[in-house]
């Protein structure tokens, strides 16, 4: 089994930055593709970004393309989401997810393990 713990959320002004971290348990972390999803109040859970097990392939939802960067450090069993140029629309609970294959997917149902979420709030 894999356990995921997110951290790094907080409150920032529009235009600011946050770096979210997701610490994963399990010896097979390096073979898992990882993703970030978010859920804003009153909205459905939305795909944000994903990264393949090697880190060589990434994917982003159009609304964050160019502003957010997903990365991973397999030696630390950690995946990151660097969020720059934040907008009020980015306010959400951000969830880390892992799937037991190496390739990325944008589908929430494609992920096997989920973290508890971390809140990111962007003020205007």
Burial class (CB in 10 A: 0-12, 13-18, 19+), 44: exposed
Bridge pairing between strands 68-73 and 118-123: unpaired
Sign of the CA dihedral 2, 57, 103, 70? positive
pLDDT in tens, 46-95: 999 999 998 999 999 999 999 999 999 988 999 999 999 999 999 999 99
Q: What is the pLDDT of residues 11-20, one digit of tens each?
A: 999 999 999 9
Q: For the chain, where are the E strands, in sequence order?
A: 4-7, 10-13, 18-24, 33-39, 46-51, 58-60, 68-73, 78-83, 92-99, 113-114, 118-123
């Amino acid at each position: 089994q894999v356990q995921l713990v997110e951290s790094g959320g907080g409150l920032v002004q529009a235009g600011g930055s946050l770096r979210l971290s997701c610490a994963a348990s399990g010896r097979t972390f390096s073979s898992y593709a990882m993703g970030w999803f978010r859920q804003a109040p009153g909205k459905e859970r939305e795909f944000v970004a994903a990264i393949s097990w090697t880190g060589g392939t990434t994917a982003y939802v159009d609304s964050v393309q160019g502003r957010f960067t997903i990365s991973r450090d397999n030696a630390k069993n950690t995946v990151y989401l660097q969020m720059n140029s934040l907008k009020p629309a980015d306010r959400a609970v951000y969830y880390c997810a892992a799937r037991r294959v190496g390739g990325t997917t944008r589908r929430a149902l494609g992920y096997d393990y989920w973290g508890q979420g971390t809140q990111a709030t962007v003020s205007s």
